[in-house]
Chains A and B, each alone.
Chain A
Amino acid sequence: MNAAENRHAVIWLLLAQLFAILPLVAVLPFWIVAVWFAAAWWYWRILTFGWSFPIGPIKGLLAIAATIAVYLSFSSLFAIEAMVAVLVLALILKLLELKSERDHWLVLMLSYFVVACGLLFSQQIVDVVVSLLQVAVLLIAQQALNRDKTSAVTMLRSVSLMGLQSIPLMLLLFVIFPRIGPLWTMPLPGGEGKVGMSDSLEFGDIAKLSQSGELAFRVRFEGDLPNLETLYWRGLVLDQFDGRRWSRNAWPARNKIPSPVIAEPKIKYTVTLESGPHEWLYALPLADINRADIYYSAQHQWLSKRPISGRVEYTASSNFAQKLDDSAASQRQNLQLGSRSDNAQARALASTWQDTLADPNDRVAAAIRFFETTPFVYTLTPPILGQNNVDEFLFTTRQGYCEHFAGSFVFLMRAAGVPSRIVVGYQGGEFNKRDGYLLVHQSDAHAWAEVWLDDRGWVRVDPTATVAPSRIRLGAEALLSRQSGYLKDSPMSLRRFEWANRLRYFVDNMNYAWARWVLNFDSDTQNSFLRGVLGEISPQRMLIAVAFVGGLPLAVVAFFSLRLPRRHSDDVPARYYLNSCRALTRRGCARKTGETPEDFLARVNIEQPCWGAWLSMQTQRFSACSYLPKDSASYQDNLRQLRRHQSPRKWLDLRKIDE
């Protein structure tokens, strides 16, 4: 059959291709869909109006134009989105040379690949459901290629059947297929445009972040949930200040130190970070995390050796009371004030504290008192600040978000000669009562200060708590929900409805379970799972497991396909007689369909006389059972004999039969 002539198959092919491409519109430029429509229309003209396929140079031009368009859209060809875009365009343009059934197959197979590519960008349950639908349409298209007119319902039924049949194999592959580490790293999506904490801070950054309702991570505590006020999820220490922007200092960050020993009482909890490249992990202060691909830095932060892509799950144990120690060198570093701004008023204020108060503890107290007594306003939409941003904030506008307070506080402390730094992370969270875990959203992003006090180590000071204590006590949501900027672009504004909250928790439960059990099934989990099931991971045991799990369904299918045509006879003597015949078939002597028992006996006597005596007895008994009245004594006797002698015996064993 010529594929191109099968219009039915072509329609399904186009449909499957469109289905494969459409969900990618979320990451790819929209004009790709327009290109698809153009190519599909062109191909349709070729098929139905006898247009000719484009010649080589035109195809070459199209390919070049597509590549340039991709480059213009992404300003690179080596980002993953751009590569997928090139692949999708190649798939679309293949329509213009779809001549043979082989091309047809190629397009279908490429479409499968494109569907798989979609999962590079997001692996939520919704995405998986969508890709299953895409695969279903592709399977139908594949069937349409090999079938004459068949209704979509019929094909859907066989697709569902095939899908169900392949589930055991899918599970098997999921569980045992080795998780191969990346052979090369691609700049994975999510760096920019994706909401999340960055590794530097300027006034206004976190306020921007707060407008997003996206989930940052989930935490499941072993034991009771600690007080929300105490939950400062420490992310990154920003100690380098150039006058305007806070950033990480590369040297102490790279300075690995042994992971801390956490004293009792420990709080143990499991954190699941949402997907994205993670360069640092969030934990409550002084935490120990047992993971191979991260290290502990001198600033008491957990950093990844290489950005970890995808979701990350880890278990940490913390003790809030433990001291955060440090070396002298990094304390000196934490006094610099930067050169890009002057902030003379703030320096002057701080130097009065430095002159009058000898004890750094007092200077910190003075600064806190300053924040308490000055009428500051905590707002998501502070006015834009000029060159001397600290001065303007402290003495003129007095409206700001957490980073304003933390930033100014650290500036004042440094100016007053107390080593201090900014810590960014998240504060608090939202407790999901249904399933008992904590949700931390991007809107919980927070910045606070740490000051060095010789006897106490790095001590957390949160000036925001001074200005707007309810921010810490109730969480950002409670305080800010009346402000217009907060979560303005999020469906979370449905929060005032109880049912919406319950639904939200339910959906999040599902996503959490999905992340926990499916997405986080990495090689570690796999190893421990397989070790749990198999005892040890050895090639032999793996082979047995594969043979068992993979072979069992096959064996069941084979068994039923062999058994199915063989019906049990309703007639009891006939059943025994047929059993006898089947037994003889296995010994190379088969009764033909239309052969009567007598004819068969005659033939066996000629062809394989060794069975003749036995078969003659069986035939005689069968005939007697078939034609004698059922109530006679000899009927029962014959039937018993017929049943007893179902397995063939050679004539040598004749005496046994006679017994």
Chain B
Amino acid sequence: MDIFAQITQEISRVVLGKDLQVRQALCCLLARGHLLIEDVPGVGKTTLSQAFAKVTGLEYQRIQFTSDLLPSDILGVSVFDRNSSAFHFHPGPVFTQFLLVDEINRASPKTQSALLEAMAEKQVTVEGATRALPNPFFVMATQNPWFQSGTFPLPESQLDRFLMRISLGYPDEKSERRLLAGGDPRTIIGELSAMLSAEKIIGLQSMVDKVELRDSVLSYVQRLIAFSRQDSHYAFGLSTRAALALIQAAKAWAMLAGRDYVLPDDIQILLEPVAAHRLKPAADSQEDGPDLIKRLLSQVPVVV
């Protein structure tokens, strides 16, 4: 049994019937991306992320975003030490390997954008000094749908920093029954064992880079982004960064499947989590994110 199956199995002790999402999260981690989980409260976003953090064996920090949270609450602050008569930097929770940001869209845009540099550059600049973040650095954020009250919708630029956006959805009937009968699964999070480590993850990440991407698949990706740019249903087309993200994620996905080459199938599976939050319907279009993805999948030929 390979390690990925073990991870999935371990997490499923806490979060039931979410194998796909676990796999997606793992893919995101191995592709050096960040993950955004969007769903209504109470479906297990936080539980999943906690379990995931535990299983990966990474150094873990959690920030609960609120509307009065300040950037320094995340990044850290310099405090005057009377004994040494000097300022000492107290690193904020961002200086960790696995950062869980809960309800990211509850904080003000100022605080949200403080996270921006950290996610994109894997470094933070506080009081003029640039400090590197640990490696690996993985942000997993949860957010409530934007139509819920008390939210600041993430701007496009920040959404773009997330490699994937996934949603959990309600558990299926069987899993939910087991959940309800078995009591609060959060109590056993502590019992989960770490299957990975920082070193292992860095090794896997470099293996992802070696996964082959053939010309035919690259052409397919190019056809996809070209279609999104030409078709009138899209407000704007997919960016080059989106295409890069898609390729990187697909490579990780291929590796998770035990392959050293990318199939068009990988691209198709990952198109929704990678591209849906980067696409906006045109003003006169009645379609929303999933429809736009379906359109791409059904209209762009795979083999030509």
Binding site for B on A (CB under 8 A): 567, 569, 571, 574, 577-578, 581, 592-599, 623, 626-627
Contact = CB atoms under 8 A, between A and B. Distances in A.
B263 interface: yes
B263 A574 contact: no
Given A571-B216, A574-B216, A626-B216, A599 B265 contact: yes
B214 interface: yes
B201 interface: no
B263 A596 contact: yes
Given A574-B304, A596-B268, A596-B302, 5 more contacts: A594-B297, A594-B301, A595-B302, A597-B303, A626-B216
Interface string B166-206: 00000000000000000000000000000000000000000
B288 interface: no
B294 to A, nearest CB: 9
B133 interface: no
A631 to B, nearest CB: 14
A418 to B, nearest CB: 100
Given A574-B303, A577-B303, A596 B214 contact: no
Q: Which of A569, A592, A597, A627 has the most CB of B within 10 A?
A: A627
B157 interface: no
A599 B266 CA distance: 11
Contacts of A598: 263, 265
- In the complex, the 7 A-B pairs of residues with the closest C-beta atoms, listed nearest first: A627-B261, A594-B298, A596-B264, A594-B297, A596-B265, A596-B302, A593-B301
A596 to B, nearest CB: 4
Nearest to B296: A594
B300 A626 contact: no
Nearest to A577: B303
A596 B296 CA distance: 13
A578 B303 contact: yes
Q: Which of A592, A594, A599 has the most CB of B within 10 A?
A: A594
A626 B212 CA distance: 11
14 contacts: A571-B304, A574-B216, A593-B299, A595-B302, A596-B263, A596-B265, A596-B302, A596-B303, A597-B302, A597-B303, A598-B263, A598-B265, A623-B263, A627-B214
B269 to A, nearest CB: 10
Interface string B278-304: 000000000000000000111111111
A569 B302 contact: no
A623 B303 CA distance: 11
Contact of B302 (A567, A571, A594, A627): A594
The interface residues of chain A, by DSSP majority, are classed as helix
A567 B298 CA distance: 20
A596 B269 CA distance: 11
B250 to A, nearest CB: 12
Contacts of B301: 593-594
Contacts of B299: 593-594
Contacts of A594: 268, 296-302
Nearest to A622: B303
A230 to B, nearest CB: 81
A626 B298 contact: no
A361 B9 CA distance: 139
Contacts of A626: 214, 216
Nearest to B220: A596
Contacts of B216: 571, 574, 626
A575 to B, nearest CB: 10
A593 to B, nearest CB: 5
Contacts of A597: 264, 302-303
Contacts of B268: 594, 596, 599
A215 B301 CA distance: 70
A627 B263 contact: yes
Contacts of B298: 592-594
A622 to B, nearest CB: 8
A598 B303 CA distance: 12
A417 B256 CA distance: 130
A595 B214 CA distance: 18
A593 B300 contact: yes
Q: Which of B214, B298, B303 has the most CB of A within 10 A?
A: B303
A599 B298 CA distance: 12
B303 A627 contact: no
A598 B259 CA distance: 15
Contacts of B264: 596-597
A372 to B, nearest CB: 98
Contacts of A596: 263-265, 268, 302-303
Contacts of A569: 303-304
A577 B298 CA distance: 19
Contacts of B214: 626-627
A28 B297 CA distance: 68
A195 B204 CA distance: 104
B71 to A, nearest CB: 44
A105 to B, nearest CB: 35
B258 to A, nearest CB: 13
A623 B212 CA distance: 13
A623 B216 CA distance: 11
Nearest to A571: B216
A105 B205 CA distance: 73
Interface string B234-272: 000000000000000000000000000101110010000
A571 B215 CA distance: 10
A72 B298 CA distance: 74
Nearest to B219: A571
Contacts of B261: 627
B212 A627 contact: yes
Contacts of B300: 593-594
A597 B304 CA distance: 12
A443 B304 CA distance: 76
B213 to A, nearest CB: 10
B116 to A, nearest CB: 34
Nearest to A599: B265
Contacts of A623: 263
A162 B268 CA distance: 45
Nearest to B303: A574
A623 B259 CA distance: 12
B238 to A, nearest CB: 16
A584 to B, nearest CB: 13
A595 B297 CA distance: 8
